[in-house]
Structure 1
Amino acid sequence: MAFNTGLSGLRAAAVDLDVTGNNIANASTVGFKGSKVQFGDLYASGFLSAGTNPIGDGVNVQDVKQSFGQGNISFTDGGLDMAISGDGFFVLNNGGETRYSRAGQFTIDKDGFVVNNQSMRVQGYTADGDGNLSGIRGDLEIATDNLSPRRTTNLSSELNLDSRESVLESRVRDVGPLDFGDINGEQFSIAYSDGTPGYSVDLSGSETARQLADKLTAAPGLSASATTSATLPLSNGDIDLAGGSFEFSLKVNNAPLQLDTSNVKSLDDLSAAINDSNDTAISAAIVTNDAGERQLRIRHNQGENLDINYTGLSTPMSEKGSVNVTGDRTIASVTAADGSSGEEFATQYNQSPIRITNEFNPADQRTYNHATSTSIFDSLGNSHELTQFFVKEPSPGNGVGVSEWSVYLQIDGEMVAGTDTTPITARFNQDGALQSVDGDANGEIVVSDWVPKDENGLPNGADGPPLPGADVVTPIPDPPQTSAFVVNLGGTTQYGAAFGVDDQRQNGYTTGRLSGLDVSGEGVLFARYTNGQSKALGQVALAAFSNTDGLSPVGDTSWVETFESGQPVIGRPDTGTLGSIEASSVEESNVDLSAELVNLIIAQRNYQANAKTIETSDAVTQTVINLR
């Protein structure tokens, strides 16, 4: 009896040593769960009776139970390493067999699937091409190909237009052509109505109309241009080529113009020869005078002196040109210095009618109040710069309770949405809120005339505008078929504050290469691309069991379902009783190494004690045998 009791104790102590040794061996195994041996005593008993004083028959190993308590979470450098904080197991596909594990050391195999160290594929919820997660569970796959470009179909601008801005109207006096001789050598005094100090223009010493124009342009508030035009009393009959005696020469500021007149047989040939010269400022054209006679007109568009000589003309024909002057709203008056010789210019300027204009020019910052730019993309992923210009207009009606702004749109320097001819009108109410944009209460501007072009100004092969007469439905349906897109100003306001861009978002992007992976607390795998975009590729699935202790360990730090564990409840991380995901982390073994070392001593003591029982029983038996 004692032999059997001691032997059972040795067996039990040996199992305890095995389990403790296994725990110690896996103290650094990621996701490992430590085990403990559960013992039960044995008693001899008869049928339907255990006796009044039963004697124990030793010990029995009833179960080796794993502890599924949470292990410490440590951070790693692995982008796909994951740790479960809370309840749940990763679901793994081992060649068709489903396994469950807490070890989250994952990587990508050659086929792009997320796998563990034993090439088991991680199960999760897949995503479509746009990154929308589905409820379909399968092997998680990381697509490593480039992200296709997406054309811009919507641009949302939230701006504040400064209501304190003034209307940029210009009051301009246009003075007709002034002959070179009328103003050359004179001095003029210019007075300004805005308090700017007066300015004196000295036109003496000027040899050409261009020099006069440059001096006038240098005066604040004046702009001048010069043109020299000469009309020759010359007809085809004056060109005699029979004896080869026709000659023609043209000088610009005494510099001969190189002309090829060898093939000139008519007035049209002479005009063509002048236009073919290397001086682009010179042009010639055939005009008809009041008598119906065809004549040759020569013009220099920069106002240089022209000297013309041809066969039959006794003296060279000389022209010094004329000057056109424009002044803006700051000028009050112009007077000649001596009150007489410059009277024509002063009189014409002061008597010319004032013209009010607000002509928009994207190259002139003085013609718009605000502007903002952003990038948009065509169907090939090429980036283009869209600029929005805002010009304050006089308030309609009596100006009470409503304000208006003109909106111009430009892409890569070309006006779009028809704003090259007619601006878009944005109207605001008395509270500064947007009322409508060209009558649209939603504030939408449909751009349907954009042709994407390359840096040379030629169509780049991307989708162009819709066909003439085709309706553009908003929002633009997917997949888009044209370059049409919507600019939404619905969030734009007009308050008494500085102009500012609160938000500006567009939904297009260029092509991108995979640059990295991120994992969220819900186990969503996000791919990051070089174009700044990110897209969900899938979501890790977790499984929970009603009886975790019923799982059967099968090695490789994994378990399989059993009848005792019950069927798994599979769901998304951080939902229900399932734990959350810690990215770039792993769950360490939950083995307490100090406790295991102490338990090792205890198991060793138990083994020695049970061996002593057998030794004592042997000594007693030997004593009986030795009786004489």
Structure 2
Amino acid sequence: MAFNTGLSGLRAASVDLDVTGNNIANASTVGFKSSRVQFGDLYASGFLSSGTNPVGDGVRVQDVKQSFGQGNISFTDSGLDMAINGDGFFILNNGGEIRYSRAGQFGIDKEGFIVNSQNMRAQGYVADDDGNLSGIRGDLQIETDNLAPRRTTSLETSLNLDSRQSVLERRIRDFDPIDVGQLRGESFSIVYADGSGNYPVPVIPATATAREAANAIDAAPGVTATATTPAVMDAGLTDGYISSAADFRFSITVGTAPLPVNVEGVTSLSGLAQAINDSGDNSVSANVIDYDDDNDPATPTVERLRIIHSNGEPLTVAYGDGSLPPGTLFEGQVAVTTDRTVSDVTPGTGTNFVDAFNATPFTITNEFNPIDQRTYNHATSTEIFDSLGNAHEMTQFFVKDPSPGNGVGQSQWSVYLQIDGELVAGTDQQPYTALFDQDGQLESINGDANGEIIITDWVPKDPNGDPNGADGPPANPGDVVSPIPEPANSSAFVLNLASTTQYGAAFGVNDQQQNGYTTGRLSGLDVSDQGVIFARYTNGQSQSLGQVALAAFNNTDGLSPVGDTTWVETFESGQPIIGAPDTGTLGSIKASSVEESNVDLSAELVNLIIAQRNYQANAKTIETSDAVTQTIINLR
């Protein structure tokens, strides 16, 4: 029996040595889990009893258990190396056989699949063409094709316009002078763009002078009215007439007050003009003009004397030789200018003023010019992309306008848009109007409370100014809605200025985000803590390619090792619980890292000594049993 007991001890010690040696051999194997031997004693027993004083029959190896404790995590220079910090196993496809491993040394094969050194493919949740992760599990693959370009369909700009800026542009309606006779008896109301109310102009009296009519109109906010009285002498007054008259006389009455004019020695129209200018009344001036009384190009012009009263009082002019003929009465004219705050005029009685307003277009003083920095307050540029991935420069210009209404509680800016040097969104004809409230917050742009401008007239062009073949404007611009639905089929895009403010601080761009990009080549890979694999491209974009899946088991000790630092599922382990990293009980992923072996080399060396002594001691048992047996045999 002693021989069998010692032999069982040799066998057990040999297994212990083998397991310890295997641990030591794999001390540097990534993802390796150390093992330990579990021993059990042996006793002979009968059917009913083992006796009152049983003697053991030795030892046997009951099991070899692996320790799945966490190994140290060390960093590497490979972007696809991954370590699991916590519970879980990588899922590997070995030609259809599913294996599980903690070794995360991965690379890419010729087909772009993520594989380990044994060409087992890592499995995870695949992503669609737009980088959206799905719940479908499969072999993870890195697409090495160029990233297709994406056209810009949305541009969000957040900036601050300096409220302290001065007004650079003034948009006005400047009427041709209206004879005061056409205004007498009329009344009308001035309508304002901001809806602040109407200003009623009272009925202009039938006896009103040009000055009185101008004063009545000038009282309206946003309206400037001035009066003048131009008097042009008829064909009877010429140089020859003045020089040949025996007793030439000339008189001017301003309103009801005579203006003394000394015509002694005057022999020409120019001399008469000088005499009027020397009269001492600065509101009256005279000069000689070339005059065409019938506006017929075939008829030559003649010299005429023009007298102007700058305050618009009626002028009565008379001249003669001996006794003055009845004077000619000149009633005067009214010139009107309105700024952009005046949107309309509604008639009360009469329509002459209303007709003049409607017939007069806006004109601009200090008109906006994108190449003249003096004509705009602020500008900012950003890149946008057409359907072919070509980059274009879009510039937004901001011009401060006069405050609408009375200027209390509201501010106004004009917005011009330019792409590659050409004004778009119709701003070559009319800018967009941005209104801000008393707190500096954007109220609307052209009445849109969302602060959006939809650009529907952009034609992408090459550096020579010719269309470059990319998608152009939509066939029906009025059908374009925000946001632009995918897939887009035109060059239309939405500019969102909803976050724009107008504070008393320096102009600054807080953020500009647009969703387009040019084509790009794969330049690198990144892995997140959740195991999401991101591809980085040369165009600055990144896109999800997939997410590593992890598996956990209710009984990890039940897994069966099959070599290559992998395990397979068994009945004892139970079925795998599969999920994304860092969810549930699954651990997180550490990128550019590997999990080292959890072998404690110092402890294994001590175990090696113990196993060696155990082996020697069991060998000594056999040796002693042999000596005893030899003694018995030698008995005679």
Decide: shared fold, TM above 0.5.
yes
Cα deviation 1:483-533 (Å, max 9, x = unaligned):
000000010011111110000000000000000111111111110000000
CA distance in 2, matches of 1:545, 1:442: 53
Give, as a single letter, the amino acid of the residue that structure 2 aligns with 1:607.
Y
Structure 2 partner of 1:90: 90
CA distance in 1, matches of 2:100, 2:421: 60
Structure 1 partner of 2:407: 399
CA contact (8 A) 2:395 2:419 kept: yes
Give, as a single letter, the amino acid of the residue that structure 2 aligns with 1:446.
I
CA distance in 1, matches of 2:477, 2:509: 34
Give, as a single letter, the amino acid of the residue that structure 2 aligns with 1:434.
L
Cα deviation 1:104-161 (Å, max 9, x = unaligned):
0000000000000000000000001111111110000000000000000000000101
Q: Which 10-residue stretch deviates more, 442-451 or 463-472?
A: 463-472
Structure 1 partner of 2:288: none
1:474 aligns with 2:482: yes
Give, in angstroms, the shift of residue 291 of structure 1: 2.9
Give, in angstroms, the shift of residue 361 of structure 1: 0.7
CA contact (8 A) 2:582 2:588 kept: yes
Structure 2 partner of 1:591: 599
Structure 2 partner of 1:283: none
Matched length: 453
CA distance in 1, matches of 2:171, 2:59: 111
Identity of paired residues, percent? 82
Structure 1 partner of 2:618: 610
Structure 2 residues without counterparts, runs of 5 or longer: 173-294, 301-362
Q: Secondary structure at the match of 1:576?
A: coil
1:439 aligns with 2:447: yes
- 1:68-217 matches, within 5 Å, as 68-169=68-169
CA contact (8 A) 2:73 2:83 kept: yes
Q: 1:451 to 1:4 in 2, by over 3 A?
A: same
Q: 1:507 to 1:469 in 2, by over 3 A?
A: closer
Structure 2 partner of 1:566: 574
Q: Which 10-residue stretch deviates more, 481-490 or 595-604?
A: 595-604
Q: Secondary structure at the match of 1:616?
A: helix
Structure 1 partner of 2:374: 366
CA distance in 1, matches of 2:372, 2:170: 13
Give, in angstroms, the shift of residue 451 of structure 1: 0.1
Give, in angstroms, the shift of residue 561 of structure 1: 0.2
Structure 2 partner of 1:6: 6
Structure 1 partner of 2:512: 504
State the superposition RMSD in angstroms: 1.8
CA distance in 2, matches of 1:35, 1:110: 36
CA distance in 1, matches of 2:520, 2:171: 52
CA distance in 2, matches of 1:549, 1:469: 67
1:532 aligns with 2:547: no
Q: 1:292 to 1:147 in 2, by over 3 A?
A: farther
Q: When the two structures are superposed, what TM-score results if normalisation uses the length of structure 1? A: 0.71
Work out which of the residue numbers 298, 317, 320 in structure 2 matches 1:291: 298
1:389 aligns with 2:397: yes
Structure 2 partner of 1:621: 629
Q: Secondary structure at the match of 1:604?
A: helix
CA distance in 2, matches of 1:57, 1:535: 66
Structure 2 partner of 1:459: 467
Q: Which 10-residue stretch deviates more, 462-471 or 71-80?
A: 462-471
CA distance in 2, matches of 1:554, 1:415: 70
Give, in angstroms, the shift of residue 376 of structure 1: 0.2
Q: Secondary structure at the match of 2:546?
A: strand
Structure 1 partner of 2:192: none
Give, in angstroms, the shift of residue 433 of structure 1: 0.6
Q: 1:292 to 1:625 in 2, by over 3 A?
A: farther
Structure 2 partner of 1:198: none
Give, in angstroms, the shift of residue 395 of structure 1: 0.9
CA contact (8 A) 2:155 2:496 kept: yes
Q: Secondary structure at the match of 2:15?
A: helix
- 1:188-337 matches, within 5 Å, as 290-291=297-298
Structure 1 partner of 2:590: 582
CA distance in 2, matches of 1:35, 1:615: 31
Q: Secondary structure at the match of 1:473?
A: coil
CA contact (8 A) 2:153 2:492 kept: yes
Give, as a single letter, the amino acid of the residue that structure 1 aligns with 2:417.
L
CA distance in 2, matches of 1:426, 1:596: 77
1:379 aligns with 2:387: yes
Structure 1 residues without counterparts, runs of 5 or longer: 173-287, 294-354
CA distance in 2, matches of 1:586, 1:522: 16
CA distance in 1, matches of 2:169, 2:541: 44
Give, in angstroms, the shift of residue 469 of structure 1: 5.2
Cα deviation 1:586-627 (Å, max 9, x = unaligned):
111111111111111111110110011011111111111111
Q: Secondary structure at the match of 2:479?
A: coil
CA distance in 2, matches of 1:617, 1:469: 105
Q: 1:21 to 1:471 in 2, by over 3 A?
A: same
CA contact (8 A) 2:169 2:399 kept: no
Q: Secondary structure at the match of 1:426?
A: strand
Give, as a single letter, the amino acid of the residue that structure 1 aligns with 2:162.
D
- 1:489-500 matches, within 5 Å, as 489-500=497-508
Q: When the two structures are superposed, what TM-score results if normalisation uses the length of structure 2? A: 0.70
Structure 1 partner of 2:357: none
Q: Secondary structure at the match of 1:22?
A: helix
Give, as a single letter, the amino acid of the residue that structure 2 aligns with 1:623.
T
Give, in angstroms, the shift of residue 169 of structure 1: 4.2
CA distance in 2, matches of 1:77, 1:372: 41
Structure 1 partner of 2:29: 29
User: Which structure: larger Rg?
Assistant: 2
Give, as a single letter, the amino acid of the residue that structure 1 aligns with 2:123.
Q
Give, in angstroms, the shift of residue 381 of structure 1: 0.3
Structure 1 partner of 2:432: 424
1:413 aligns with 2:436: no
Give, in angstroms, the shift of residue 64 of structure 1: 0.2
CA distance in 2, matches of 1:466, 1:401: 39
Q: Secondary structure at the match of 2:165?
A: coil
Cα deviation 1:139-190 (Å, max 9, x = unaligned):
0000000000000000000010111111114799xxxxxxxxxxxxxxxxxx
Structure 2 partner of 1:448: 456
CA distance in 2, matches of 1:366, 1:33: 74
- 1:543-562 matches, within 5 Å, as 543-562=551-570
Q: Secondary structure at the match of 2:134?
A: strand
Give, in angstroms, the shift of residue 290 of structure 1: 2.3
